[in-house]
Each structure stands twice: as structure tokens, then as C-alpha cells.
Amino acid sequence: MPGGLFRRTPQERPTGPLTGHKLAFPMLSADGRTAGFSGVTLGRAHVYRTVDDAICAHGCRHSCPSRWCDCGFYCFHSDSDARELACAPEHQGAILLEVAVSGRFRRYELGLRYSRQRVRAIRMRPCRCGATVSALADTGTGQHGWRRLEPVCARCAGARPVLTPERFARLAAVTLLPDDVPAGPLSPADPGAADRPGEDRPFDDSAFGRPDPIDGDPVATAGAVAVLTAEMALLQARLDEMARQLGRATARLDELEGRDA
């Protein structure tokens, strides 16, 4: 086997911070004095500040980003890739971040995985209804010591506790950019649009709804919930065991890599 097959690639040494784009859920501390961010994928369980260092989401103690683990901060090179990710239903309510990347980093196809970042600017995504955002409202969810917020219009905010985007930006010490505007013909629904032919309007698919087979049957519903709960508990146990094994293997590989360096 040729000896050059496993030759290491030249180490990249940028002259300054790299710029990236990502999605995050806006978070507010329990006392309302500190703003933070939560990841939308792997790092969802961790709240980070405007300037912060990455930690391993699996609880391992190795440095991030490890070659043998998927830990670390992630960002895209292009803001258009972040907007595409925001189309997923589970990412509704996230905001766009512009970050400065520093420290150790690794490149992947669409962006960077890295150890340290500074959030430079934020941009509000449109409200779920498509209207312009006027506030960040409490979602009723969060983590220990943090409440999760979401960008909403005045109508969708209702009676929930809210925070203005300007106030959130000041708490986070970042720049607030103009709201993100969705591309294409989509716009907030207009009650009178149906009377004006020739205009695009959101379709109403309520007529195509199908009743759930267990609706109206509390016994069947309880049984289905019990089965799903058991399956989720089993899956979580398997994931925990895999994370422990991965942590041990990663620590060993990092130790061997340090000896070879």
C-alpha cells in the first residue's frame, strides 16, 4: 500500500476570523437579563452565548471539533443554505445568525465545523403566518434557566410575554439586520383575495383532512401512546449506550493521535 495514501492534508491557517451563517432558536435567561441561542440540530440541548466555545454534545471531554466525533459548532458558507434549512417544519421559529469563526475548525461540503464563534448579527425570520415580525414571544418551552422564544407578528403573539427584536439584540450585544423576506410569490393571506381572480393565494387543504383511526377512542389512544413511549425509551437507552461507547473510543483515538503528533 503506498505510504502517501494516509498523508495528512496541509493545515489551513487563515489570517483572520472566517464568516459563516447558521440557524438558531433565540433564548432568554430566566431573569430576563441575558440572551442566548440554541442549536436547531445536534446542539439543541445546549444554550450558547454571543461569544462561546463549543462543547461535545455527547458529553465527551475531548477538544472540539474532534476528527472522530460530530461535535462542535456548525455553520454554512452561504446564507442561502441556512434559509433552505429553515424551510423544515421543525426549524420554524429559528432566526438567522451571522457568525465569526475562530479556533480549530474542519471544513465539510457546505461549511465549517469549529470550536469557537462570535455571533455578529441576527436577522428575524418571518412569522409562521408569513407576516412581518414585531416581537419575540415565549413559546412555553425551554431548558433549565432558559426560555425559548420565537419571532411572531402582533396577531400571533396574542397574550404571551414578548420581547422586541431590538431589546433582544441589545441583550445579546449583536447587530439586528432587516427582517428576512421569503422569496417567491408567497405573502400573508388576504381575506379578500378569493374575490380577486388572477392573484396567488395560499391554498386551504382542510378539505383533504382524514380522521385519525384512533380519534374518539380513549382506550386505543392510551394504548398507542404507551407503545410509542416504550419504543422511545428503548431507543433512548440504545442511543445513550452508543454515546458512551463513542465517547470511550473517541478519547482513545485522541490519545493515540496525540502520541503520534
φ, ψ (nearest 5 deg) of residue 36 = -145, -170
Give the burial class of 66: count Cβ atoms within 10 A of its Cβ; 0-12 exposed, 13-18 middle, 19 or more buried.
buried
246 pLDDT band, cuts 50/70/90, is confident
Q: In sequence order, which residues have a C-beta less than 8 Å from that of residue 253 and are 6 or more positions away?
A: 67, 68
- Above 80 in pLDDT, residue 187? no
Rounded mean pLDDT of the chain?
Answer: 77
φ, ψ (nearest 5 deg) of residue 51 = -115, 120
Alpha-carbon gap, residue 261 to 251, rounded angstroms: 15
CA torsion sign for 73, 79, 83, 85 is negative
pTM over 0.75? The answer is: no
185 pLDDT band, cuts 50/70/90, is low
Alpha-carbon gap, residue 154 to 157, rounded angstroms: 5
- Beta-strand pair 51-53/95-107: unpaired
Does 200 or 103 have the greater pLDDT score?
A: 103
The distance from CA 12 to its chain's CA centroid, rounded to whole angstroms, is 27
Does 186 or 7 have the greater pLDDT score?
A: 186
Report helix, strand or coil for 251.
Answer: helix
Residues 85-141 have pLDDT tens digits of: 888 888 989 999 999 998 888 887 788 888 899 999 999 999 988 899 999 999 999
Question: Where do the structural domains in the chain lie, given as residue ranges?
Answer: 16-184, 218-261
Residues 33-61 have pLDDT tens digits of: 999 999 888 767 789 999 999 888 777 77
| Region of poorest pLDDT, from 79-88, 133-142, 239-248 | 239-248
| Average pLDDT of the residues in 192-218 | 40
